[in-house]
């Protein structure tokens, strides 16, 4: 059995779809659906049970799944980079993760978890996923800090050789439709183009970056799912790894790819960035991928042109946009 926490979210539900494609449906989904429309991400997926996240650890530690679980993929977290309740983040992103990791370590269960590129802060220390530099990073927001603290817990307790952590960079793709306020730029751009015929991007506030030329490492969610499937199938591969494309691209490149996928000429307007974002804005991210590559894991292959084209034409423009 494979258990996926955050299994109704963008990455978790995409992994479920990928597992189903590989013939695996002995899956338990753990999440908090509440009134969110993310339940739609599960429609048509093959899995055997759904458990609310608040009940899961008690059931797990109580023996409900004893001897039945080979892998727990822990994607469940508050992923909002603007969340201001640090105590909530510590409980949800740190303590919950520690409890799951300790159970997996004690019971010889494969544990794969989501870290984040937000741990790198502004990138002054670069984007190396080597173990010996993790403590030098200075996250720019509470979310990134909560993710860094779990990475540091794993390193401090010398268990990184028994689990796999993934520092996701800028993920976009189908099944993000419920993430109001945290939608990816391709999703926002697609709907802005439909409504207004143009896309709004933030101006640059640094002389070394022109408007629209801030760079991020954008990775298609289907590529993320492929890497995670490989890690499930190769349980001896352990460590904390970056998960991006290894090639930074500009916001202008990204939205131009959306226009092209829609068969339209680019039309971009640059707007002021909100004051609360200016001090925590990342102008450049680029995953160093050599550590993951050295394991033999096939690296993400989709350029933003290919990923955006598939997202727009195979999902956003379809009556059923889900993966």
Residues with catalytic roles: 143, 179
Q: How far is CA 184 from CA 112, 178, 220, 288, in A?
A: 24, 11, 11, 22
CA gap 20, 27 in Å, rounded:
9
Asked if 118 and 243 touch (Cβ cutoff 8 Å), the reply is no
Asked if 13 and 323 touch (Cβ cutoff 8 Å), the reply is yes
CA angle, corner 94, sides to 90 and 99, nearest 5? Answer: 130
């Amino acid at each position: 059995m494979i258990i996926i926490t955050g299994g109704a979210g963008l990455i978790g539900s995409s992994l479920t779809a990928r597992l189903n494609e590989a013939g695996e449906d002995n899956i338990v989904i753990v999440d908090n659906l509440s009134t969110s429309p993310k339940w739609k991400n599960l429609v048509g997926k093959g899995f055997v049970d759904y458990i609310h996240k608040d009940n899961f650890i008690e059931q797990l530690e109580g023996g409900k799944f004893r001897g039945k679980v080979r892998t727990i993929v822990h994607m469940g977290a508050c992923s909002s980079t603007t969340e201001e309740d640090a105590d909530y983040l510590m409980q949800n992103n740190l303590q919950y993760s520690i409890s799951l990791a300790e159970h997996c370590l004690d019971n010889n269960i494969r544990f794969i978890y989501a870290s984040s590129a937000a741990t790198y802060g502004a990138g002054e220390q670069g984007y190396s996923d080597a173990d010996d530099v993790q403590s030098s990073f200075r996250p720019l927001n509470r979310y990134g800090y909560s993710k860094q603290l779990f990475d540091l817990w794993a390193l401090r307790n010398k268990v990184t050789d028994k689990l796999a952590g993934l520092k996701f960079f800028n993920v976009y793709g189908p099944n993000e439709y419920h993430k109001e306020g945290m939608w990816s730029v391709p999703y926002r751009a697609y709907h802005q183009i439909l409504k207004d015929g143009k896309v709004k991007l933030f101006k640059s506030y640094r002389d070394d970056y022109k408007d629209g030329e801030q760079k991020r490492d954008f990775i298609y969610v289907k590529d993320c799912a492929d890497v995670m499937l490989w890690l499930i199938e190769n349980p001896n591969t352990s460590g904390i790894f970056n998960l991006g494309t290894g090639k930074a691209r500009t916001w202008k490149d990204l939205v131009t790819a959306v226009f092209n996928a829609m068969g339209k000429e680019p039309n971009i307007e640059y707007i002021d960035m909100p004051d609360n974002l200016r001090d925590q804005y990342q102008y450049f991210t680029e995953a160093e991928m050599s550590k993951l590559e050295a394991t033999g894991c096939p690296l993400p292959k989709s350029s933003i042109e290919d990923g955006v084209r598939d997202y727009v034409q195979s999902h956003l423009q379809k009556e059923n946009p889900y993966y």
